[in-house]
Structure 1
């Protein structure tokens, strides 16, 4: 009861200031009849959205005074679309927000602080690192809905045929395994990506990142980063190592090769688990192996933490915010997260959602086991944009159109424009 009173008090105190941001067509503080929320869901429309639609129906059945207008917004359009809507009018009451968007939208005042509200009543049930990643400037602006990270995903059948019983622990071990797999099975051992996000484990393996937020320095071309990217580059040439694919359809090419047994290992995230199982190589789900990304010279393995939070629009009126808090609480509950995990094979964000039935999925169990190697993203509003320069430069480096030094120098210049207050 105290939590509920505190939640209402907090929302009431914030509502006048929040409305100044642009409240769309929500109306006054108290709507007549049921309150209708608008939820922008950014999940995959084919594989994931049906599960969320079903949960919306469950929520409405349990809350006769709240209706939910469900809108599936393509992920690659959602950030800009919400930014435009929130800065004017017509933003949704609830957004399924990628974790990297949180600092930027919180800084602009578009997200409602959720500390002490009903949406975070079960705060202690969530992984602490995921709560931290939903924060900006000491406040929490999202409730973790699903999480993810990158892992070394392996075809165990091909590894067995090559006489390999364990996943590579270092990038050098991966090179050796790739050569052996090629020799004994004819399949490629590893196919890497040229995308900036997928190169992130090579930086973490050297104990660095694109920027040092504490020191406010750009580190994308530091000696440690250059070493990491050098290792990344070396995995595109050699026996059993697939050459770099810099085409627009590279992601699909890599995925198709893996699920159909043409390559034994890739770096990938849990959002592809259901697609793995559809491939000819994984009719037996037990043949899907999940291991931490290989370690760099520091001896540590590290991969970026991804996922999505549910955030409440600060520009909605009080009645819609109160309803939105109830909706977020329901959608992020242990029961709802278990349902999502079982239907979509995505990773829950709270320990009590990893039931025996959920853990029976080898993909989920495997990715859960590598979460310890996930590195939270810095609370830097511009951080999610820092991979874009690398998406431009790394394919040029991988294809030999420019040297690694040239590519990182160009990336540094582009990143400097995004974080102009960061120096050497």
Structure 2
């Protein structure tokens, strides 16, 4: 529900060696008088929308000469909508998006370089791994402000009945222990795990960081090529084995989104579901009265490696906005530590800011907040964030190939051939 479709190849013009300063035509210019900023928000849950709108009202009350207009956008259509508005010179001044959607817009010159606009407070408060998700060519084109780890949502009673060791952040399951636990939990019509993999690419790549997977490799010439080595294959093999060989994972959930698995989870069809941290809100809202669930960390790689990739939500400024400085002031206001906490609580996600992340409200045991917050230090930029052509590779190559692999229709050799062979042909068109 948070993700959005891409217009595959829409910005596949020949790559340039440097980012352009802004090339969208004909945008409106400032005319004097009161400054009016358009802020397109992609908040969609009621708590998140309410929190964002309240902060906009607070800004407007304190800054009568710089009015911010709240514009509602949608994750489902944001890429295409932004592309159209950029080309027409009518993009919002302040743009809410996700880090994995920024690369083509940044390289196309549609987003402002923020380095000279952001306050030192904001730059210092957000850790470097988060800044790396929005940096292209040595410049920052967004402010990462919300993120979520992938976790295991588990049925507590089934865990206790199977007498499996319950993992903690300090002592997570290895991928081997996770496979063993799924076997112990598969009994009496219950599958140990449900993998909702309607969109399998990000889950596969991001979880594979724990086993040393990279997939995308940048050479000395700056060009990216795809490899799919043993470290990249570890997590996909686990998922396929659970579905096809061990039958500890439900085959029917492979084509589902995360929300689609919740009724079966509540009904005891699956003991565990790997989901984004924010799905906890839907569980709280939809679970039957008395349903007992818990949040567990995702499995770790060799040596207890808990790294996983993330693509944070971001705030950017249109390159041709006549009010860049005013827009940056609003972003700084919106992302003050107490405000970032309010946005995180509203979206059931984690703030990127170090001060906000220390807020006691995010460290309570209820609803797994403390578990998720403890995972924040292991979050890293998703492998594909700076890769031009990734959206097309994902949609045209990786998604169908992984879906076929996980269902058992093709083997690892065929999967590797398609991801690498077909994938490098796609990326080459963006890197000429």
**TM above 0.5, one fold?**
yes
5 Å-filtered alignment, 1:35-114, equals: 35-44=35-44, 46=46, 48-114=48-114
User: Alpha-carbon deviation of 1:234?
Assistant: 0.9
**C-alpha distance in 2, partners of 1:269/1:113?**
30
5 Å-filtered alignment, 1:180-259, equals: 180-183=184-187, 187-194=190-197, 195-201=200-206, 203-214=208-219, 216=223, 218-237=225-244, 238=246, 240-247=248-255, 249-259=256-266
Q: TM-score, normalised on structure 1? A: 0.84
- CA distances 1:267-291 after superposition (whole Å, capped 9, x unpaired): 2112212112123268578x32231
Is 1:415–2:420 an aligned residue pair?
A: no
CA contact (8 A) 1:190 1:240 kept: yes
Q: Secondary structure at the match of 1:397?
A: helix
CA contact (8 A) 1:45 1:72 kept: no
CA contact (8 A) 1:178 1:239 kept: no
Give the unaligned 5+ runs of structure 1: 1-16
5 Å-filtered alignment, 1:273-312, equals: 273-280=280-287, 287-291=293-297, 293-296=298-301, 300-312=305-317
Go from structure 1 to structure 2 and tell me whether the alpha carbon gap of 1:198 and 1:18 turns closer, same or farther (over 3 Å shift): closer
**C-alpha distance in 2, partners of 1:222/1:263?**
31
User: Alpha-carbon deviation of 1:220?
Assistant: 4.3
Q: TM-score, normalised on structure 2? A: 0.83
Go from structure 1 to structure 2 and tell me whether the alpha carbon gap of 1:148 and 1:202 turns closer, same or farther (over 3 Å shift): closer
CA contact (8 A) 2:224 2:427 kept: no
After superposition, the CA RMSD in angstroms is 2.8
Q: Secondary structure at the match of 1:402?
A: coil
Q: Secondary structure at the match of 2:309?
A: strand
**C-alpha distance in 2, partners of 1:368/1:344?**
14
User: Alpha-carbon deviation of 1:311?
Assistant: 0.4
Go from structure 1 to structure 2 and tell me whether the alpha carbon gap of 1:232 and 1:125 turns closer, same or farther (over 3 Å shift): same
**C-alpha distance in 1, partners of 2:40/2:183?**
46
Is 1:170–2:174 an aligned residue pair?
A: yes
User: Alpha-carbon deviation of 1:242?
Assistant: 1.7
CA contact (8 A) 2:42 2:96 kept: yes
Give the unaligned 5+ runs of structure 2: 1-19
Q: Secondary structure at the match of 1:122?
A: helix
**C-alpha distance in 1, partners of 2:371/2:175?**
20
**C-alpha distance in 1, partners of 2:225/2:235?**
15
Go from structure 1 to structure 2 and tell me whether the alpha carbon gap of 1:161 and 1:169 turns closer, same or farther (over 3 Å shift): same
User: Alpha-carbon deviation of 1:239?
Assistant: 5.1
Which of the residues 369, 376, 381 maps onto 2:381? 376
- CA distances 1:283-313 after superposition (whole Å, capped 9, x unpaired): 578x32231x213457533321122111011
Go from structure 1 to structure 2 and tell me whether the alpha carbon gap of 1:294 and 1:78 turns closer, same or farther (over 3 Å shift): same
Go from structure 1 to structure 2 and tell me whether the alpha carbon gap of 1:283 and 1:22 turns closer, same or farther (over 3 Å shift): farther
**C-alpha distance in 2, partners of 1:240/1:73?**
39
5 Å-filtered alignment, 1:8-47, equals: 20-22=23-25, 24-25=27-28, 27-28=29-30, 31-44=31-44, 46=46
Go from structure 1 to structure 2 and tell me whether the alpha carbon gap of 1:273 and 1:385 turns closer, same or farther (over 3 Å shift): farther
User: Alpha-carbon deviation of 1:158?
Assistant: 2.4
5 Å-filtered alignment, 1:152-171, equals: 152-167=152-167, 169-171=173-175
**C-alpha distance in 1, partners of 2:122/2:268?**
42
